[in-house]
Structure 1
Amino acid sequence: MSEHNYLLKLRAQCLKLPFGARIFSMMFARKAPYFASIKPLITELKPNFCQLTFNKRKAVENHIGTVHAIAVCNGMEMAMGALAEASIPKHLRWLPKGMQVNYLAKTDSDVRVEAKATEDTWQVGDQPIEVTAYRADGTVVAAGHITIYVSEKPQKPKS
């Protein structure tokens, strides 16, 4: 699957360039412009796994000087989206349905987000994607899942 996936191909091409990981991350972040607000860097992407990071900076802080929970959720949604696009079989499509997140600790540093799925995820119906955010010392700051609805792509009319 991976050698035929458009997103994994694009990432492989970008990684050949100077600053390729940054270029790829910026390109993917343009899929949903609010992703760019956290200035994410996708550090690992393969079928059923995505890891990204973003820096703690004024633009993503809340009133107490920690990373805002919604910025963390933004990273979680981006990681899930990249994972889904890199993993889903060509005959299927996906749509996010909901997000359940528990905030577990203050986010007082740069953030690492991971999204994980399994091969069993890619079947028709509601499917949970595990998402976890960590601060620099490895402490889990938020954890939960994003439910996606997986369905068959409609058949194209024959001409």
Structure 2
Amino acid sequence: MSPVNKLGRYVHKINQQGPWLRSWLLTQLFGRAIKFAGTASVQVAELDFSHSLLKLKNKTKVQNHIGSVHAAAMSLLGESASGFLVGVHVPDDRIPLLKSMHLDYVKRASGDLTAQAQLTQEQIQFIRSTEKGEISIKVQITDSVNVEPVLAEFVWAWVPKKRN
């Protein structure tokens, strides 16, 4: 799949590197673009044009009062996994925007977290070819014992940069 925007071109180029360097470069790119994700130390383990895998270590700066990852940090991780994936497809003349998120916190998280998001080929084509639209993405967030502590769904929209 060929890139349609500047971010996609960066990701495509980075993905030609070795696995360790790839993750480090993607994490640096993302952390500089999205300052809050950089501050929280969200790690981009994998990102291609249809799948993202992000990680968040259970460190003091993202913990709640009981020592697990804070609910807001969980939402940041899910938003990041879905948003970075959408971002590689939105053409440069449009702006991606988070429209809504729905999170159900169902279990206490243990240890580090991993978030995975996927787009179908139909969703990718819709993002790339529709001037203004929205899609819903379910993000699977699991903890270090493979429990899904939060059920998460994010609705992303995109609009033209210039208003008519």
User: Is the pair's TM-score, using the shorter chain for normalization, greater than 0.5?
Assistant: yes
Q: Is the 8 A contact 1:112 1:134 kept in 2?
A: yes
Give the 3 Å change call, closer, same or farther, for CA 137–5 of structure 1 in structure 2. farther
The alpha carbon displacement at 1:2 in A equals 3.1
- In the alignment, the residues of structure 1 paired with residue 88 and residue 133 of structure 2 have an alpha-carbon distance, to the nearest angstrom, of 19
Number of aligned residue pairs: give it.
Answer: 156
The alpha carbon displacement at 1:55 in A equals 0.9
The alpha carbon displacement at 1:47 in A equals 2.0
Q: Which residue of 2 aligns with 1:54?
A: 56
Query: What's the TM-score, normalizing by structure 1?
Result: 0.81
Q: Which residue of 1 aligns with 2:119?
A: 117
Gaps of 5+ in 2: none
Query: What's the TM-score, normalizing by structure 2?
Result: 0.79
**Residue 10 (structure 2) pairs with residue 6 (structure 1):** no
The alpha carbon displacement at 1:68 in A equals 0.5
Q: Secondary structure at the match of 2:156?
A: strand
Gaps of 5+ in 1: none
- In the alignment, the residues of structure 1 paired with residue 96 and residue 117 of structure 2 have an alpha-carbon distance, to the nearest angstrom, of 15
Give the residue type in structure 2 aligned to 1:112.
T
The alpha carbon displacement at 1:90 in A equals 5.7
Give the residue type in structure 1 aligned to 2:134.
D
- In the alignment, the residues of structure 2 paired with residue 75 and residue 66 of structure 1 have an alpha-carbon distance, to the nearest angstrom, of 14
Higher mean alpha-carbon deviation, 125-134 vs 94-103, is at: 125-134
Give the residue type in structure 2 aligned to 1:13.
K
The alpha carbon displacement at 1:25 in A equals 0.8
Q: Which residue of 2 aligns with 1:151?
A: 159
Give the residue type in structure 1 aligned to 2:6.
Y
Give the 3 Å change call, closer, same or farther, for CA 40–2 of structure 1 in structure 2. farther
- In the alignment, the residues of structure 1 paired with residue 137 and residue 105 of structure 2 have an alpha-carbon distance, to the nearest angstrom, of 17
Superposition CA RMSD, Å: 2.6
Query: Could you tell me the percent identity over the aligned residues?
Result: 23
- In the alignment, the residues of structure 1 paired with residue 80 and residue 133 of structure 2 have an alpha-carbon distance, to the nearest angstrom, of 21
